[in-house]
Amino acid sequence: MKTFKVLGGGCRNCEVTAEAIAHAAAEAGVEIALEKVTDMAEILGYGVMSTPAVVLDGTVVHAGGVPASEQIRDWVSG
């Protein structure tokens, strides 16, 4: 099972990113763990300076905006 973390302060773009990841996983029939991280110390611990950011299995794979749908599908199915 893949583990996703959406890093951000809870802004609309962070919510959209988390919803898009959950939707892509449901469409693909893939079980994932999805966590929203709003603690700034934890976010900065990943070296992220702009949110939303996405962490996949412990590695930052995106930062600074809502990722493209194709990119999300690749993360979920890859």
CATH of the domain at 17: 3.40.30.10
d(CA 31, CA 9): 25
pTM of the model: 0.95
Domain count of the fold of the chain: 1
What digits encode the pLDDT tens for the residues 11-48? Answer: 999 999 999 999 999 999 999 999 999 999 999 999 99
Q: N- to C-terminal Cα distance for the chain?
A: 12
Is residue 78 predicted with pLDDT exceeding 90? no
Averaged over 48-57, what is the pLDDT? 96
pLDDT of 67? 98
Question: Where residue 62 falls among pLDDT bands split at 50, 70, 90?
Answer: very high
Rounded Cα–Cα distance for residues 67 and 62 (Å): 7
What CA–CA distance (Å, rounded) separates 37 from 56?
13
Q: Which domain holds residue 66?
A: 2-77
Q: What is the pLDDT of residue 10?
A: 87
